[in-house]
């Protein structure tokens, strides 16, 4: 207790000495009314310029075409010759079906064709012989007619044999299932040994993803604006995808011809280049469609706008670094900016730290904006 009293007495003596010398104890570096440091804020300067008119919609990425590859002949799968999920080129072998039965049928058809070619040659020789004998009156005219009729029948039989052999060759070609177009191959629906049925079994699918679509639904209240923009020319579109750091840039490809009466929306598609194949069908996307430009006006970031009981307002910082509440009227919003009335060009508005502010309060400006 004695030591504590001595410390208190010593501190009092030092304070008395300082007071006698006309000095006061050092205070914390504060400029607020209660000695607290002013709150720190970030600023943006108002500018007058046009504002892009943007429609915000959401949608899903979609392949330009999804091709179902079906078997065209019956037969078990003998080989799967592609990598699932990898790009394929037009004409590339995808699946090979067992062709042993068809090869046997082709050999049979070719043998039948060779036999009937020999029969036709005999019929031609018989007709020539009959015509020569008729000239010598050794046979009747009806015998010649019969030989000619036999020749025509054998010609028809040979033509049928050729068609049958060609059909078998074509079916044999169908055992090699090739890619009809460039794209990305999907999962094989049959394994080796699985039985494929002609025009029934889907072996796999190919998705054409360059360019790729984003399919979206547009409320009919915004339909007239987008239709008018499309009538003037291309409508730029920007797509933001989850997990992709940079947006895609493309254009609106088309709008459907009918509004869905159950949803009150119309379907549209925007198209984007996808040469690297990194965008996959089915991904969620947020679309920004630039349908025009609004007349020039005073622009501030959306983050500067605060909501009051009666109207919107912003905090304006004066030359003495004090804030003042300024009511504003927001006439349009787009691309993170608000078009407002009630401000002058060059006004400095607070875009961060408003929660600690009150009218006429002193502030500290953070970062480069403070210079």
Q: What is the pLDDT of residue 371?
A: 35
Quote the pLDDT of residue 251. Answer: 96
d(CA 233, CA 235): 6
Q: Which residues of the chain have pLDDT under 70?
A: 1-35, 367-371
Q: Which residue has the tokens 């943007």?
A: 54
pTM of the model: 0.65
pLDDT one-digit tens code per residue, 308-349: 878 899 999 998 899 999 999 988 887 788 889 999 999 999
Place of tokens 């058809």: 109
Which distant-in-sequence residues (6+ apart) come within 8 Å of 77 by Cβ? Answer: 95, 96, 97, 98, 190, 191, 192, 193, 194, 195, 196, 203
Is 105 exposed, middle or buried (CB count within 10 Å of its CB: 0-12, 13-18, 19+)?
Answer: middle
Q: What is the DSSP letter of 368?
A: G
Torsions phi, psi for 177 (to 5 deg) = -90, 115
Task: Set out the domains of the chain in order of their start, with CATH numbers.
Answer: 40-51+295-370 (2.40.420.20), 55-65+208-294 (2.40.30.170), 75-97+175-207 (2.40.50.100), 99-173 (1.10.287)
Beta strands at 364-365 and 40-45: parallel, antiparallel or unpaired: parallel
Give the Å distances, CA to CA, from 141 to 70, 125, 132, 144, 183: 57, 17, 11, 5, 67
Q: Which pLDDT score is estimated for 15?
A: 40
């Amino acid at each position: 207790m004695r030591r504590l009293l001595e410390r208190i007495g010593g501190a009092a003596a030092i304070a008395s000495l300082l007071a006698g010398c006309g000095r006061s104890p050092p205070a914390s570096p504060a400029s607020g009314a209660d000695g607290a440091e002013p709150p720190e804020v970030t600023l943006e300067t108002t500018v007058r310029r046009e504002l892009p008119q943007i429609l915000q919609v959401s949608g899903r990425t979609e392949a330009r075409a999804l091709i179902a590859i079906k078997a065209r002949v019956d037969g078990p799968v003998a080989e799967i010759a592609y990598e699932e999920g990898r790009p394929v080129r037009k004409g590339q072998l995808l699946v090979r079906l067992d062709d042993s039965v068809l090869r046997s049928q082709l050999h049979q058809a070719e043998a039948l064709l060779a036999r009937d070619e020999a029969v036709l040659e005999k019929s031609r020789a018989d007709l020539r012989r009959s015509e020569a004998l008729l000239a010598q009156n050794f046979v009747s005219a009806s015998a010649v007619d019969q030989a000619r009729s036999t020749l025509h029948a054998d010609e028809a039989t040979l033509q049928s044999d050729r068609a049958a052999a060609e059909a078998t060759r074509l079916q044999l070609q169908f055992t090699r299932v090739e890619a009809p177009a460039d794209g990305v191959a999907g999962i094989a629906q049959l394994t080796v040994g699985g039985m494929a049925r002609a025009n029934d079994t889907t072996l796999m699918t190919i998705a054409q993803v360059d360019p790729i679509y984003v399919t979206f639904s547009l409320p009919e209240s915004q339909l007239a604006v987008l239709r008018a923009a499309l009538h003037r020319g291309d409508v730029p579109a920007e797509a933001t995808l989850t997990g992709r750091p940079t947006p895609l840039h493309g254009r609106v490809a088309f709008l459907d011809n009918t509004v869905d009466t159950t949803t009150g929306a119309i379907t549209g598609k925007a198209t984007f280049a996808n040469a690297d194949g990194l965008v996959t069908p089915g991904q969620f996307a947020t679309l920004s469609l630039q349908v025009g430009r609004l007349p020039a006006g005073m622009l501030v970031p959306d983050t500067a706008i605060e909501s009051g009981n009666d109207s919107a307002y912003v905090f304006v910082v004066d030359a003495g670094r004090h804030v003042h509440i300024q009511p504003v009227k927001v006439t349009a919003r787009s691309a993170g900016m608000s078009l407002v009335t009630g401000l002058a060009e060059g006004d400095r508005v607070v875009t961060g730290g408003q929660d600690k502010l009150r009218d006429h309060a002193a502030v500290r400006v953070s970062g480069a904006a403070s210079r």
